[in-house]
Amino acid sequence: MDPITDLFNRIKNAQAVQKRTTDIPCSKLKMRILELLKEEDFITDLKKRGRKPHQLVRVDLKYNQDKTPAMNNFKRISKPGKRIYQKAKDIRKVKDGYGMALVSTTKGLMTDKQAKKNKLGGEIMAEIW
């Protein structure tokens, strides 16, 4: 299974039963994705737990005042079987600016806004709203 899709599915499943936290197997890519989700206010906090190679990340989930999840949904754009690349000028807004896209550039993983600001294109990994 695709590890990035697994990360988002674990978050969605925990939010479906209104859990406060969820544990996700740790990797550098997953940590960077979770850091971007925290920066964009989709989750509240994250902490590494355990020792390598079985290290986990405890993710504190965020809910709105009406107890709906802050992260409603996601869409995996570039998949292991089909990679999708776009130039900086072709990267479009997600849900009219209410969501974000994860872009893997030569300067590392960043949001669509950061990539456009730095005029960098790359692989569009996922859209989150």
Answer yes or no: is pLDDT of 76 > 90.
Answer: yes
Q: pLDDT tens-digit profile of 30-63?
A: 999 999 999 999 999 999 999 988 999 999 999 9
Find residue 128's DSSP bridge partners: 74, 100
Report if residue 68 sits inside a domain.
no
Hey, how many other C-beta atoms are within 10 angstroms of the C-beta on 68?
10
Looking from the CA of 81 toward its CB, the CA atoms found within 13 Å total 2
Name the residue range of residue 35's domain: 3-61
Name beta bridge partners: 79.
82
Q: Tell me, what's the pLDDT at 52?
A: 87
CATH of the domain at 43: 3.30.1370.30
pLDDT of residue 57: 98
Alpha helices in the chain (DSSP H): 3-16, 28-39, 112-117
Within a domain: 120? yes
Give the residue from 61, 87, 105 where a domain finishes: 61
**What tens digit of pLDDT does each residue of 6-38 get?**
999 999 999 999 999 999 999 999 999 999 999
- pLDDT tens, residue by residue, 105-124: 999 999 999 999 999 999 99
Average pLDDT score, the chain: 96
Say how many C-beta atoms besides its own lie within 10 A of residue 85's C-beta.
12
Q: How far apart are CA 5 and CA 121, in angstroms?
A: 22
